[in-house]
Amino acid sequence: MVRPAHFGYDPSTAKTNSFQDTEGSDQILDIQHKAIEEFNGAVDTLRASGVDVVVIDDTDEPKKPNAVFPNNWVSFHDGRVILYPMLAENRRWERRLDLLDQLVDEGVAVDEIIDISKYEENNMFLESTGSVVIDYEHDLAYACLSSRTDRDVLNKLCEINGYEPVLFESFNKEGVAVYHTNVVMCIASKYAVICTESIQADQRFDVIRTLEETGHEVVEITMDQMYSFAGNMLEVFNHQGESVIVMSQAAYDSLTENQLNTISAHSKIQTVSIPTIEKFGGGSVRCMMCRVS
């Protein structure tokens, strides 16, 4: 996780992210202060629940309003590190090799770095585990196509890691492509949370069938719940090896008792309160957490 130095509303990403809210975005210092408080609180909560968290501080320059979302530029695969092409030019500053050096010092294996960010030169993008929700056990890469998620770059990732792509289209309330797959769905070991309502009608069956055939109980969420970031969760494991599903308080509050019961049958639920980050960043707790292995 990356502690933000200059978090704030970013108009360059808002063009493709309908989850960002501009109201009050001129309160720059207040937003930065609240974001750091929320970040620190989230880290403390995760550590208290027995989850290992490595924290890296953002650099002061250049200013990177989205640095709190590291899962969009890098992914880790048992010593293999992949760097990704990103749509917003100011987000490309987030790709820091010195950050990888710090992770090595923390005991994270970095044996090979594969840089596919060159696709930016051709205006082709794939924003890591924002664009792709990976079923690691079954080597499947779920992705909804958007301006930030290119089919050809996805195929390159699948070629590198031996994944099978599961492609679909997902649309927000305005009928515009959802910017990232990880706000539409979350895959845990035994279940998947997904906003099927947002998926193009003739593609829903295939997506659900693939999830069910790989042993996942499907928890369907509504469009309104997706906008409360109920799809933007991440399963992690605590020191006892127990499944913990991390979600924001807003996501938790949007879920029904039946949905929560289904999830809690498989995972301990851990909530974090990050309203400022969600409102102005347009992403939730899953976007803040980059899985390292």
Domain total in the chain: 1
Q: What are 15-71's pLDDT values in tens digits? A: 999 999 999 999 999 999 999 999 999 999 999 999 999 999 999 999 999 999 999
Residue 49 maps to a domain: yes
Q: What are 124-156's pLDDT values in tens digits? A: 999 999 999 999 999 999 999 999 999 999 999
CATH number for the domain spanning 93: value is 3.75.10.10
Check whether 293 has a pLDDT greater than 90: no
Residue 217 maps to a domain: yes
**pLDDT for the residue numbered 109:** 94
Q: What are 62-97's pLDDT values in tens digits? A: 999 999 999 999 999 999 999 999 999 999 999 999
Residue 293 maps to a domain: no
**pLDDT for the residue numbered 41:** 99
Tokens 């690691």 map to which residue?
A: 136
The pTM assigned to this predicted structure is: 0.97
Residue 179 maps to a domain: yes
**pLDDT for the residue numbered 88:** 98
Average pLDDT score, the chain: 98
Residue 79 maps to a domain: yes
Question: How much is the average pLDDT of 4-12?
Answer: 97
Which residues touch 285 (CB under 8 Å, ≥6 apart)?
42, 229, 232, 233, 234, 246, 247, 248, 251, 272, 274
Range of the domain at 137: 2-288
Check whether 244 has a pLDDT greater than 90: yes
> For residue 227, how many C-alpha atoms fall within 13 Å in the half-sphere facing its CB?
13
Residue 284 maps to a domain: yes
Cα–Cα nearest to 85, from 154, 179, 16, 175? 154
Residue 273 maps to a domain: yes
Residue 162 maps to a domain: yes
